[in-house]
Amino acid sequence: MDRYDDWTLLQMGSLPRNAHIHGLSSVEDLLERDRQREQDGFPRKIRIGRLVKPSRGGKERVILVPTTVEEKFIHDTRPFQEEGGAGGGSGDGQEGEVIGEEPIHGSEGSGQGGAGQGEGAEHEIEASAYDLGRILSEQFQLPNLQSKGTKRTLRRIAYELTDRHQGSGQILDKKATLRRLVATNIGLGRVRQDAEIDPTELLMGPDDKVYRILSLEPSLEAQALVFFVRDYSGSMSGRPTEVVVGQHVLIYSWLVYQYQRRVETRFILHDTEAREVPDFYTYYNSTIAGGTRVASAYRLVNEIVEHDNLARDYNIYVFHGTDGDDWDSDGSQTLPELDKMLTYANRVGVTVAHGHGGNGYRSRVEEYMGRAKLAERFPDRFRLDTIEEGAGEERLVEGIRQLLS
Amino acid sequence: MELIDQRTKAIMEGCKERAWEAGLRFAPETLEYIVTNRDLLELTPKHMIPTLYDYWVHDVEVHREKGRYELYPNNPYETVINTRPAISFYNDNNPDWLNVMIFYHVLAHIDFFQNNLHFQNTWGEDFAGKALSDKRAVAMLRSEKGRWVDYVIEFSRGIDNLVGYYKELGGNGAEDRSKPTRLDFYFDHFLQEVQPVPVHEYLREIERYNACLRQHGELADSFFFAEVLTRHPELDSLYEKHLQHHGAQPADLLDYLQRHSPFLQREENRWMKTVMEIVRTTSLFFQPQIRTKIMNEGWASYWHEKLFLADERISGHEVGFARIHALVTSMPKVGVNPYALGMRLFHYVEELADKGKLSLEYEQIASAHERQRYDARTGRGRETLLDVRRHYNDFLFLNKFIDQDFVDRHKLFVVGRRLNPRKGVWELFVQSRRAEDYKKMLLDSLYHPPVVEVDESLMDDGCLYLRHRFEGKPLVREFIGNTMLGISFLWGGPVKLETTEWIQDRSGSPSPYAMPSEQGREPVPRRVLYTMEDRRLSRTLL
Which helix or strand (DSSP H or E) is residue B52 part of? Answer: none
Closest residue in B to A11 (Cα) is: B129
Task: Give chain A positions within 8 Å (CB) of B467.
Answer: none
Question: A88–B448: do the CB atoms touch at under 8 Å?
Answer: no
Is B162's CB within 8 Å of A73's CB?
yes
Neighbours of B250 (CB within 10 A): 16
Q: Do B68 and A111 touch (CB under 8 A)?
A: yes
Give me the pLDDT at residue A85, please: 60
Cα B363 to Cα B355: distance, rounded to the nearest angstrom: 13
**Regions of chain B where pLDDT drops below 50:** 508-519
* CATH class of the structural domain A222-404: alpha beta
- Do B295 and B99 contact (CB within 8 A), yes or no? no
* pLDDT for res A47: 74
Q: Please tell me which residue of chain B has the smallest CA distance to A391.
A: B478
- Distance between A90 CA and the closest CA of chain B, angstroms: 4
Q: State how far the Cα of A303 lies from the Cα of B275, in Å rounded to an integer.
A: 64
Nearest-by-CA chain A residue for B468:
A73
User: Residue A24 has what DSSP assignment?
Assistant: P
Interface test with B, best of A27, A71, A92 (most B CBs within 10 A): A71
pLDDT tens readout for residues A301-324: 888 888 877 777 777 888 888 887
CATH 3.40.50.410 domain position(s) in chain A: 222-404
Question: Which pLDDT does position A135 carry in this prediction?
Answer: 63
Q: Could you tell me if B55 and B278 are in contact, meaning their C-beta atoms sit under 8 angstroms apart?
A: no
Half-sphere exposure of B60 (CA within 13 A, CB side): 19
Residue B391's region, left for phi above 0, alpha for psi from -120 to 50, else beta, is: alpha
Q: E-strand spans in A41-153?
A: 47-53, 61-67, 84-90, 98-103
Q: Measured between beta carbons, which residues in chain B are less than 8 angstroms from residue A395? A: none
**A316, A292 contact by CB (below 8 A):** no
Distance from CA of A340 to the nearest CA of B (A): 30
Over residues B17-50, the pLDDT tens digits come to 999 999 999 999 999 998 887 788 888 888 888 8
What is the C-alpha to C-alpha distance for residues B521 and B504, in angstroms, rounded to an integer?
A: 7
**pLDDT tens-place string over residues A115-162:** 233 333 333 444 455 566 666 665 555 444 545 444 334 445 566 777
- Pick the residue from chain B with its C-alpha nearest to A95: B430
Q: Which residue of B has its CA nearest to A235?
A: B515
In this prediction the ipTM stands at: 0.79
Q: What is the pLDDT of residue B528?
A: 92
Are the Cβ atoms of A76 and B412 closer than 8 angstroms?
no
Q: Tell me the chain B residues in contact with residue A61 when contact means C-beta distances shorter than 8 Å.
A: 70-71
Long-range contacts of the stretch B242-249 (C-beta < 8 A, 24+): B242/B180, B242/B185, B242/B189, B243/B179, B243/B180, B246/B177, B246/B179, B246/B180, B247/B174, B248/B172, B248/B173, B248/B174, B249/B172, B249/B173
Residues forming beta bridges with residue A385, ordered by sequence position: A351
For chain A, 405 residues long, the average pLDDT of each consecutive 10-residue run is 47 46 68 82 76 53 73 80 65 76 48 30 46 60 47 50 77 87 85 78 83 69 75 74 78 70 76 79 69 83 82 79 80 84 83 65 78 78 78 72 72
| Interchain pair B478, A97: CB under 8 A | no
The residues spanned by each domain of chain B are 2-116+292-324, 130-175+249-288, 182-246, 330-445, 451-541
pLDDT at position A306: 84
Q: Do A73 and B430 touch (CB under 8 A)?
A: no
User: According to DSSP H, which parts of B72-219 are helical?
Assistant: 96-115, 120-123, 127-145, 148-157, 165-169, 182-184, 199-216
